[in-house]
Amino acid sequence: MNRITTGQLADGRQIIYVDGPDAPPRRASDTRPLGDRVPSGELRWDALVGDWVAVAAHRQERTFLPPKDECPLCPTGRGSVPSEVPETSYEVAVFENRFPSYAPVSLGGESVDAGGLFETRPAHGRCEVVCFTSEHDSSFKELPLERVRRVIDTWAARTAALGAMPEIEHVFCFENRGREIGVTLHHPHGQIYAYPYVPARTAQLLARAEEHLAKTGRLLGADLLEAERADGSRVVLESEHWTAYVPFAARWPLEVHLAPHRDVPDLPALGGEERDDLAVAYRELLRRLDRYHVGPAGEPLAMPYIAAWHQAPARVGREASRLHLQLMSVLRAPGKLKYLAGSESGVGGWITDVPPERQAQRLREVAS
């Protein structure tokens, strides 16, 4: 059972502590002189492709790779500067991002439609930071299973709470790890974006899922999982409730999908046993990622990665959507990155450097 404590930071942003029943009470106050919150940015309509782009100039000032003693995600008292987390310790902490791409409705903004080609609207939504642990030098894969389960519960609870907000259309939980990915803070953490629209990639996935459902009466995600399990050559691991596999048309030098055996649209729909099993399977996958590449002396190399939870939008297409995690990395070999250059960035024509079957074989070889 998790104990939830909600508080407020000095500028009015919300902070939420997710603890076990034996954790100390959370009563610390944020005494920093932060001033007012940044106002909401804006969304601009890209008429060329039919998608929204967020403009958030204040993010240019966000903290960038500070030294350990200035980490804003460590508990207060461990460094030389005040932290975003007032407590001196925590298990899991969630707070509104100080430099958000999307901000609450209360921070204002107006819509402008200049003939349909230059339409703008306020970037209303919410951006949250999820701190997985108070230990700066740790990582997700080093968390004990009960703490992994607590993070999973946090993702599910925040998905439900944010998705219930009237202005929110989609909730996206993700983690960026590694300088190569572009992280600005090394402390183990992830983020949650609550969008006021359905993002383009999610809309594309949903359109294919709805088309498949209309033609076959079955879920596309379920049929893909069944086909991968039947083939077996790209399956990485299987448990009672989950299967991990490298997709047949993987785009990244390392890409793994982790899917539940039961048809569920999102994280809140997972049952207790499925969450327990997910904690085991997900942690094992992350541990294998860090053994995938080896250095000159045979030492394992930490894998930069993006972990992205694809779940149903808050209001549309839920009957066709099926939850899955996508793990991906730009590291194609030690010291060599996969750059999204001309073909990928220019026209979206993806070229895979490492065959999916080879990826899966290596991930099986490095099992714990």
- Point out the catalytic residue in the list 124, 170, 186, 189: 189
Instruction: Give SS3 for 41.
Output: coil
CB 173 within 8 A of CB 192: yes
Tokens of 87: 């407590």
Tell me, what amino acid is at 86?
Answer: P
Is residue 71 a known part of a binding site? Answer: yes
- Burial grade of 351 (CB within 10 A; 0-12, 13-18, 19 or more): exposed
Q: What are phi and psi of 278, to 5 degrees?
A: -60, -40
Instruction: Give SS3 for 66.
Output: coil
Whole-angstrom distance, CA of residue 293 vs CA of residue 316: 40
189 is catalytic: yes
Q: What are phi and psi of 365, to 5 degrees?
A: -65, -30
User: Can you tell me which residue has the tokens 């099993």?
Assistant: 277
Is residue 74 a known part of a binding site? Answer: yes
Is residue 127 a known part of a binding site? Answer: no
User: Can you tell me which residue has the tokens 């003693």?
Assistant: 69
Contacts of 281 by beta carbon, 8 Å cutoff, 6+ apart: 237, 239, 242, 244, 258
CB 260 within 8 A of CB 323: yes
Tokens of 172: 């996206």
Tokens of 282: 């997900």
- Taking alpha carbons only, the member of 126, 116, 109, 111 closest to residue 41 is 109
Q: What are phi and psi of 249, to 5 degrees?
A: -115, 50
Annotated binding site for Zn(2+): 71, 74, 136, 187
Catalytically annotated residues: 189
Annotated binding site: 71, 74, 136, 187
